[in-house]
Amino acid sequence: MYATISKWHESGLPQYRYCKQEQIATSTFSYWLKKYKREQIPADNSQLPAKSFIPVEVSRPLVLPIWQVEVAYPNGVLVRFATGTDANMIKTLIGLSYV
């Protein structure tokens, strides 16, 4: 079956078309292809490429707020206030005289 896999690679056809042309069940072909790929990975993984990180620069500190108060209006507007937001600011934004 490995010779068939090599022949498929050389054909440049999609799997389903190659299987149809060669009258092979796609499930059978897929099984052998997975088995073939597993056997190509070295047992000790010494020949695998080393994983590396891509450097990322952050111009300002990343701060993710933790929402303490969330107000949902009937018209679908949602107002969220982060921990530590001034109570007077909340009153002004949501239009309440008591908070």
Reported as a single tens digit per residue, the pLDDT across 51-85 is: 666 666 666 665 666 767 777 777 877 877 777 77
Average pLDDT over residues 6-18: 88
Distance CA 19, CA 16 (A): 5
Distance CA 9, CA 29 (A): 13
pTM of this prediction?
0.41
Half-sphere exposure of 39 (CA within 13 A, CB side): 7
Over residues 22-40, the pLDDT tens digits come to 999 989 988 888 888 888 7
- Inter-helix orientation angle 26-40/2-11, to 10°: 100
DSSP code of 49?
P
